[in-house]
């Protein structure tokens, strides 16, 4: 079928890019009949732009002017089958996008139940890789945010690092709300941890999800990609170097188009570090679309204060994409700050040192092996030595 989105974009040349054209057509499909004023308001654009794009839709036979803009049979078929927006319940979807659905809603509750089982059985965190576990509700919120921004449906989505299983939540959400037969979305995961990748693959196969996983050390020279992705989700290590590397690798993989989104989850930092982050976004010519403080909640991630913010970055015509060179800076907290902690066995009171340069690297490893004196697996923090900053 004709690529009507690209055709209308070439006719109108709207500065916001072809993603806006797609969003306008989808909005007409979801909210028909809709006025030019409401169409413009929902996309935060001037009415003349919405009107100009709509006129091209009418010329192509996708839209008809009947008490506002409404879909034709051709337009409806194009949106549902070519763009993958065939919904199980359109009214429900519209209410969801307007935040009118309770967290106790039947569909959301059903999805939460499925994800809780999956999340409970995911691999243990590896703190040496700055891994942490987001809550199920946070995963669902990420999916809804991406869909609201037209970043998921009919898109190739890349998760750069995914120990928190965002990829699984996205795919499961789509399967609950959309007619899966017509969905065009494909989700990819890059991660260094084979445990995470193997688990995601198992879930994908069991739930019949359209996902691909690939083991990647982002610090190594990255194999040149096809620049085929539309959207990136990433929750990097808790260092500025980690943020820069993960976002850069995500940008490398994106199509060279304006208006593409990077969903960046990152812990609250000092004013100096926040300034460094803003400078980095500016250096890459990325637009800070929105910042949602406290958006992400984590299970037991004390270093994050159990929460982090969600920053939505958008590519522009001038976005700078780095080359695929090797990255040799430290990116994990344990590399930048080599802290030594002393834990005391709660049974026999034996003290054990845990740290990057000790025989036992993490508290998880200590609990797994148990106390060398009595085999107990219960410990309490006794002392934290000053960090060695590298």
pLDDT digit string, tens, across residues 346-376:
999 999 988 777 788 778 788 888 999 999 9
Cα 186 from Cα 234, distance rounded (Å): 16
Cα separation of 253 and 229, whole Å? Answer: 6
Question: Is the per-residue pLDDT at 339 higher than 80?
Answer: no
Spatial neighbors of 180 by CB under 8 A, at least 6 apart, are 174
pLDDT band with cut points at 50, 70 and 90 for residue 184: confident
What is the arithmetic mean of pLDDT over 292-308? 75
Structure tokens at 266: 């990152």
Torsion of the alpha carbons at 59, 1, 42 and 63, rounded to the nearest 10: 30
Instruction: Please tell me which residue, 124 or 54, carries the higher pLDDT value.
Output: 54
Question: Which residue(s) pair with 272 in the sheet?
Answer: none
| Residues 104, 108, 110, 112, CA torsion sign | negative
Positive or negative, the CA dihedral 126, 128, 134, 139 is negative
Taking residue 296's Cβ as centre, other Cβ atoms within 10 Å add up to 25
Q: Could you give the percent of the chain with pLDDT greater than 90?
A: 60
How many CB atoms neighbour CB 322 within 10 A?
Answer: 15
Task: Note if the pTM is more than 0.75.
Answer: yes
Q: How far is CA 51 from CA 26, 54, 69, 76, 360, in A?
A: 15, 5, 10, 19, 65
Q: In sequence order, which residues have a C-beta less than 8 Å from that of residue 302 and are 6 or more positions away?
A: none
CATH architecture for residues 106-314: 3-Layer(aba) Sandwich (3.40)
CA distance 337 to 349: 27
CATH number for the domain formed by residue range(s) 4-83: 1.10.10.10
- Residue 329: per-residue pLDDT: 72
What integer pLDDT is reported at residue 225 of this predicted model?
61
Cβ burial, residue 101 (10 Å; 0-12/13-18/19+): middle
Domains 4-83 and 106-314 share a fold: no
Question: Token pair of 28, please?
Answer: 């007409």
Q: Which has more confidence, 273 or 99? A: 273
Percentage above 70 pLDDT, the chain: 91
Pairwise CA distance, residues 251 & 264, whole Å: 12
Q: Which of 172-176, 224-228, 360-364 has the lowest mean pLDDT?
A: 224-228
With a CB cutoff of 8 Å and minimum separation 6, the contacts of 41 are none
Q: Which residue has the tokens 């340069």?
A: 357
Q: Which burial class, exposed, middle or buried, applies to 51 when counting CB atoms under 10 A from its CB (0-12, 13-18, 19+)? A: middle
Q: What is the pLDDT of residue 103?
A: 66
| 36-39 long-range Cβ contacts below 8 angstroms, 24+ apart | 36/69, 39/69
| pLDDT (0 to 100) of residue 304 | 47
- Look at residue 305 in the predicted model and tell me its pLDDT: 54
Determine which of 51-60, 189-198, 347-356 has the lowest per-residue pLDDT on average.
347-356
Lowest mean pLDDT among 5-14, 102-111, 157-166, 257-266: 102-111
Distance CA 12, CA 30 (A): 22
All structural domains of the chain with their residue ranges: 4-83, 106-314, 337-384
Write the CB contacts of 389 (distance below 8 Å, at least 6 apart in sequence).
Answer: 336, 337
Residue 361: its pLDDT value, please? Answer: 78
288 or 338: which carries more pLDDT confidence?
Answer: 288
- The DSSP string of 332-371 is SHHHHB--EEEEEETTT--EEEEETTSSS--HHHHHHH--
Mean of pLDDT over the chain: 88
Classified by CATH at the fold level, domain 337-384 comes out as Rubrerythrin, domain 2 (2.20.28)
Q: Assign 3-state DSSP to the chain and report helix, strand, coil percentages, each to 5.
A: 40, 20, 40
């Amino acid at each position: 079928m004709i690529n009507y989105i690209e055709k209308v974009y070439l006719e109108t040349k709207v500065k916001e890019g072809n993603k806006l054209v797609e969003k306008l057509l989808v909005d007409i499909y979801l909210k028909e009949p809709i006025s030019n004023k409401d169409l413009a308001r929902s996309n935060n654009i001037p009415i003349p732009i919405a009107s100009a794009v709509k006129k091209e839709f009418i010329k192509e036979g996708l839209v008809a002017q009947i008490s506002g803009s409404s879909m034709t049979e051709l337009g409806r078929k194009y949106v549902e089958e070519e763009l993958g927006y065939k919904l199980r319940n359109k009214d429900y979807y519209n209410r969801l996008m307007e935040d009118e659905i309770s967290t106790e809603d039947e569909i959301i509750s059903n999805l939460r139940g499925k994800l809780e089982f999956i999340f409970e059985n995911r691999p243990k965190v590896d703190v040496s890789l700055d891994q942490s576990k987001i809550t199920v509700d946070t995963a669902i919120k990420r999916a809804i945010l991406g869909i609201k921004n037209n970043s998921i449906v009919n898109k190739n989505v890349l998760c750069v690092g995914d120990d928190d299983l965002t990829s699984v939540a996205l795919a499961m959400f789509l399967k609950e709300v959309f007619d899966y037969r017509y969905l065009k979305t494909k989700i990819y995961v890059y991660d260094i941890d084979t445990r995470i990748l193997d688990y995601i693959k198992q879930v994908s196969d069991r739930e019949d999800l359209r996902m691909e996983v690939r083991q990647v050390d982002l610090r190594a020279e990255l194999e040149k990609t096809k620049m085929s992705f539309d959207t990136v989700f990433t929750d990097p290590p808790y260092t500025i170097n980690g943020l820069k590397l993960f976002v850069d690798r995500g940008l490398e993989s994106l199509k060279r188009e304006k208006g593409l989104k990077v969903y960046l989850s990152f812990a609250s930092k000092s004013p100096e570090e926040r300034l460094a982050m803003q400078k980095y976004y500016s250096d890459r010519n990325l637009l800070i679309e929105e910042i949602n403080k406290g958006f992400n909640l984590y299970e037991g991630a004390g270093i994050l204060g159990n929460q982090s913010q969600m920053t939505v970055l958008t590519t522009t015509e001038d976005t700078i994409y780095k080359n695929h060179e090797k990255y040799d800076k430290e990116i994990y907290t344990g590399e930048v700050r080599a802290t030594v902690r002393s834990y005391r066995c709660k049974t026999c009171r034996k003290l054990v040192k845990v740290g990057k340069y000790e025989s036992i690297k993490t508290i998880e490893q200590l609990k797994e092996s148990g106390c060398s004196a009595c085999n107990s697996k219960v410990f309490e923090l006794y002392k934290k030595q000053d960090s060695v900053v590298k």
